[in-house]
Structure 1
Amino acid sequence: MLIVTTENIVNHKIKEVKGPVFGLTVRARGIGKDIFASFKGLIGGEISEYTEMLEDARKQAVDRMVENAKAMGANAIIMMRFDSGEIGQNMSEIVAYGTAVIVEEE
């Protein structure tokens, strides 16, 4: 599956637009990570536990978006983006979205 953040794919022609696709995941931080992050926040620096959690969430959101596009019969996704938000005090929502298309090499 080709995935790009642009409107077009170099050396490809869009034959059909299938429509919007998305993949969504919600992750909750554990109390242990929150306590550790609070201490690390006092010292400064990257909080690798949260970074890892968000990287995993983005990958899962992309995987779900790709499955959605495949179910629509697409072979590419253009204009792919991420969005995120918080739900409550300890949950993060990550969504990957774009436009599912059928492309053909020129």
Structure 2
Amino acid sequence: MTGFEADVQSLQKAVKATRDAADQGGSVTLKSSISHVNEGMDSSASADVARKLGERWEKNLADWKRLMLDYANALDESAKSYQDTDLAAKRDLSRQGGR
């Protein structure tokens, strides 16, 4: 690389790693880890707090997964854009008798 090139392969690896992390992290069921509080202390203030906490965890995890997938999509678009620009430049050079 000359310092002005995009490393498309690295971007594509980052896309895959980000999507894998979103899939793995997004599949965790945090809410179930505190469901025993609800079951053991039904109708108590602690049970209500545990229920609300579980719901908050689920929402936050879903939001995180969505943001990770949005980031992966943006990286993917960047990689494709760099690749398309490089191909267009190569075509232009070849038309002008370049390499």
Query: Which category of TM-score, normalised to the shorter sequence, fits these structures?
Result: 0.3 to 0.5
TM-score, normalised with respect to structure 2: 0.38
Bigger Rg over Cα? 2
Query: When you count strand as a share of all residues, which structure comes out higher?
Result: 1
Q: TM-score scaled by structure 1?
A: 0.36
